Amino acid sequence: MNVETKGTSRSAAPVWVALVVAIVGLVVATAALTANLVGGAPFGMMGAGRGIMSGGGMMSGGGMMSGGGMMSGAFGSGSGLQPGANGFVPGTVAAPRVVRVIAGPGYAFSPSSIAVARGETVTFLVTTMGPITHEFMVGPAADVTTHTPGTPEIDGIGMMQTGSLTYTFDGSGPYAFACHEPGHYEAGMAGTITVVP
């Protein structure tokens, strides 16, 4: 880099511009990868809604790179990337839908009921709030509610603070999720999953 104490440097500007272009490229690539792998962020640090960093986030309406800003348009609306739009290639395999579940505080899940389509694959991102650890078991309601150990249709995350689980709902249901740590299910720590055609 050529820096002068008087006048203007001709080589400093192209280096600065190249650096800005590289940083913007990394931000866009990270955002697109996040949208592909995670499928949007229902809530939390990345914003609200299915948008990629939407709802007031860094790349959305009200955010740092929105409106008339440098990243407005494809990312600035807060609507998020949709399959077939904004660079997504039609015909590629879609990532499973992500459902964020909060375990606790206390003995409850939020949300306590979820609707899925028959055959849908869902990734549950489970976070425990508070000092009590929980487990997250999902499967056919009859097996989950009676806590039938070793049933192949049940899948779960053991005692954890944070974990993820991907499950495909092949049957017509009903399905359920629950925590079977001693006393937790009895205290009402369970939820329902409705399969819709």
Instruction: Give the pLDDT of residue 14.
Output: 60
User: Over its length of 197 residues, how does the chain's per-residue pLDDT go in tens digits?
Assistant: 333 333 333 444 565 556 555 565 555 555 444 444 444 433 333 333 333 333 333 333 333 333 333 333 333 333 344 444 444 455 556 788 999 999 988 899 999 999 999 999 999 999 998 888 888 999 999 888 887 666 666 677 777 788 899 999 998 879 999 998 889 999 999 999 999 98
pLDDT of residue 123: 95
CATH class of residue range 97-196: mainly beta
Question: Can you name the residues that pair with 121 across neighbouring β-strands?
Answer: 168
What is the Cα–Cα distance from 193 to 173, expressed in whole angstroms? 8
3-state helix, strand, coil in the chain (%, to 5): 15, 25, 55
Closest CA to 62 of 167, 112, 72: 72
Per-residue confidence (pLDDT) for residue 3, from 0 to 100 = 33
CA distance 178 to 139: 9
- Each domain of the chain, given as residue ranges in start order, spans 1-92, 97-196
- Whole-number pLDDT of residue 131: 86
pLDDT confidence of residue 24: 57
DSSP labels, 50-83 = SSTT-SSSTTSTTSTT-TTSTTTTTTTTSS---T
Spatial contact of 63 and 57, defined as CB atoms under 8 Å apart: yes
